[in-house]
A and B are shown apart, each in its own frame.
Chain A
Amino acid sequence: MNFISTNKTHFFQWQSYLLRVAIIFFLLQSLPVNAEIYKTIANISWSTFISDVFNIVIYLPHVFGPVSGFADWFLVLGISLILAYVWYSKSIISDEKETKYFYFLRVAVRFRLASILFVAGFTKLFTLFAPELSLSHLNTGYGYFENWKQLYLSLSAAPAYAIFLGIVELFAAFLLLFRKTSLLGVLFIIPFYGNVFLADLAYEGSYFMVSAYAVLLTIPIFVYDIKKLGNLLIDLKLTSPVNWHFNWNSTALGKWRPVLKGAFVLFFVVLVGFKSYSLSQGESLYYPSEKGLEEVAGKYNVDLFILNSDTLEYSPFDKQRWKDVVFEEWNTLSVRINDSIKTADPHSFLEGKSSDRDYEYTQVGDRLYYHYQIQNGNKEISLQNPNPNYPNDQFTFYVERPDSLHINLKGENSKGDKYTVALSKVDKKYLLYEIKNLGRRKLGYKL
Chain B
Amino acid sequence: MTLLETKEEIQKQDFRILENKNESKWPFWQLIAFRISFVFFILISIPNNPLWYKQLFALNWLNLDYRDLYDICRFGSGVNWFGRTTFGYSLEGYSVWVNTFLFAIVAGLLWTLALKLIGRKRESYNSLFYWLNVIIRYRAGLGIIGFGFTKLFPVQMPYPSLGLLDTDYGDLTAQKIFWLSFGIVPWYQVFAGILEVSAGTMLFFRKTVPIGSALLVGALGAIVVVNFAYDGGVHVYSSYFVLLSLFLLVPYFKPFYQVFIKEIPAKVFLVFPKITGWKNVVRYSIKGFLIFLFLGVFFYLQYVDFRYDPYKQPSSAGVKELRGNYIVSEFTLNGVDHKFDPLDSLRWQSATFENWSTLTFKVNRPIGVDLSNGGGDPKRDVNRTFEISGVAGGQRAFHYYVDTLNRVLYLEDKYKLIPDQRNVTAGEGGDGGVKNYLEEYGIDESSLPKISFNEWIPEEVKSRLGNESDYVDPKARTTRRIREFAKADEVAKKETRQRFIVSYAIDEDGNKVTLNGVDENRDSLRVVLQKVNKDFKVSPGKLVAGEYSK
Residues of A within 8 A of B (CB): 3-4, 7, 133, 137-147, 150-151, 153-154, 157-161, 164, 180-181, 183-184, 187-188, 191-192, 198-199, 202-203, 225, 228, 232-243, 301, 313-317, 323-324, 340-341, 343, 363-365, 428, 430-433, 435-436, 439-447
Contacts and interface: CB of A to CB of B under 8 A. Distances in A.
Contacts of B510: none
Contacts of A447: 366-367, 369, 392
Contact of A440 (B8, B175, B222, B228): B175
Given A436-B231, A440-B233, A160 B170 contact: no
Interface in B155-184: 160, 164-175, 177-178, 180-181, 184
B229 interface: yes
Contact of A150 (B11, B184, B231, B265): B184
Interface string B219-254: 100100110111101000000000000000000100
Nearest to B207: A234
Given A141-B166, A142-B167, A442-B371, A154 B181 contact: yes
A445 B419 CA distance: 12
Contacts of A238: 15, 18-19, 265-267
Interface residues of B, number: 94
Contact of A239 (B191, B266, B390): B266
A232 B140 CA distance: 23
Given A430-B171, A447-B366, A441 B191 contact: no
Given A147-B538, A444-B417, A316 B371 contact: no
Interface of B: 4, 7-8, 11-12, 15, 18-19, 160, 164-175, 177-178, 180-181, 184-185, 187-188, 191, 207-208, 210-211, 214-215, 218-219, 222, 225-226, 228-231, 233, 252, 255-256, 258-268, 270, 327-329, 339-343, 350, 366-369, 371-373, 390-393, 417-418, 431, 433-434, 437, 441, 530, 534-538
A158 B373 CA distance: 17
Contact of B261 (A145, A181, A187, A446): A181
B268 A232 contact: yes
A237 B255 CA distance: 11
A73 to B, nearest CB: 21
Nearest to A303: B343
B267 A232 contact: yes
Contact of B265 (A147, A239, A363): A239
B89 to A, nearest CB: 16
Contact of A139 (B168, B181, B264, B342): B168
Given A202-B185, A236-B267, A142 B160 contact: yes
B113 to A, nearest CB: 35
Contacts of B341: 314
Given A138-B168, A238-B15, A323-B342, 12 more contacts: A144-B535, A157-B174, A232-B268, A233-B252, A240-B11, A240-B259, A241-B259, A241-B262, A301-B342, A436-B174, A444-B417, A446-B369
A121 to B, nearest CB: 15
A10 to B, nearest CB: 17
A157 B232 CA distance: 13
